[in-house]
């Protein structure tokens, strides 16, 4: 695994690799049981595990802030406006554009999706050599796998899935215990994103339509590895498309 942070500028310049991975984290409320850094911790882990399996991918430092306007009103949330994030990504991608073929963007935070898709499209219209790819976690099987593991609906934010992931990845920072299960309130909403601030719908900041509490580190690990598998497949596929294109 190659991390840009650990390399010298001359190693980067000499590297035969022209593939970069930019992890995009988020600092936002995650309800009463999870820390504000949840999405950043998960993004870091996914990026490291994916980069381990793709040796010539150079992992860039994680961006700890992104678009979390929907979480404003909860203390500790730090958010960028979509235009700001677009500008930061433009600046970062431009920094490596001269010596990169592909820059993969990895974000675990759903609130970034529309902005990142727009950035990907806009960048690729105007850049021929260095292309941007948003690692796609949605078009494949992760939701189906997660729904099976959680025996029902997948939480949209800070519920069963994310608490389970936290129990596996950063258990000391997770406040959820069996004993406080009974006083947990769930919010049953099919559509909340793009409808205003979360705080207007869920005062505790959890969006999870599954009426049951299903929290376990085993489930969390399996969810994470479904994301890792999908991320590796996505990136390897994009790299192989490039190779085929070059040889023809």
Closest to Zn ion by CB, 130 vs 230, is: 230
How many residues touch Zn ion under the rule CB under 5 A: the total is: 1
Least CB distance from residue 149 to Zn ion, whole Å? 17
Closest by CA position to 54, among listed 244, 242, 228: 228
Closest to Zn ion by CB, 38 vs 100, is: 38
Least CB distance from residue 238 to Zn ion, whole Å? 25
Closest by CA position to 123, among listed 150, 100, 152, 146: 100
Closest by CA position to 47, among listed 237, 228, 236, 233: 228
Closest to Zn ion by CB, 39 vs 70, is: 39
Least CB distance from residue 67 to Zn ion, whole Å? 13
Does 70 bind Zn ion (CB under 5 A)? Our answer is: no
Contact indicator for 212, 151 with CB cutoff of 8 Å = yes
Least CB distance from residue 148 to Zn ion, whole Å? 20
Q: Is 72 exposed, middle or buried (0-12, 13-18, 19+ CB in 10 A)?
A: middle
Candidates 19, 39, 54, 210; binder of Zn ion (CB under 5 A) is 39
Give the gyration radius of the chain's Cα atoms. 19
Tokens encoding 114: 């529309």
Which region among 31-39, 145-153, 185-193, 214-222 touches Zn ion (by CB under 5 A)? 31-39
Closest-by-Cβ residue to Zn ion is: 39
* Site of interaction with Zn ion (CB under 5 A): 39
């Amino acid at each position: 695994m190659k991390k840009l942070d650990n390399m010298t500028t001359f190693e980067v310049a000499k590297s035969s690799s022209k593939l970069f991975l930019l992890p995009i984290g988020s600092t936002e409320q995650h309800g009463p049981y999870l820390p504000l850094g949840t999405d950043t911790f998960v993004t870091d882990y996914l990026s490291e595990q994916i980069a381990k399996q793709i040796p010539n991918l150079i992992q860039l430092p994680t961006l700890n802030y992104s678009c979390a306007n929907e979480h404003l009103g909860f203390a500790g949330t730090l958010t960028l406006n979509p235009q700001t994030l677009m500008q930061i990504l433009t600046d970062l991608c431009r920094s490596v554009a001269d010596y990169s073929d592909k820059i993969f963007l990895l974000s675990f935070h759903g609130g970034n999706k529309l902005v990142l898709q727009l950035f990907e499209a806009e960048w690729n219209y105007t850049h021929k050599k260095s292309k941007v790819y948003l690692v796609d976690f949605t078009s494949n099987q992760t939701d189906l796998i997660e729904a099976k593991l959680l025996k029902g609906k997948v939480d949209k934010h800070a519920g069963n899935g994310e608490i389970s992931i936290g129990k596996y990845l950063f258990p000391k920072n997770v406040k959820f215990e069996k004993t406080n299960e009974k006083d947990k309130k769930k919010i049953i909403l099919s559509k909340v994103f793009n409808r205003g601030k979360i705080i207007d719908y869920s005062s505790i900041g959890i969006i999870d339509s599954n009426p049951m509490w299903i929290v376990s580190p085993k489930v969390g690990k399996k969810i994470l590895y479904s994301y890792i598998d999908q991320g590796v497949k996505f990136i390897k596929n994009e790299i192989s498309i490039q190779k085929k294109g070059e040889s023809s």
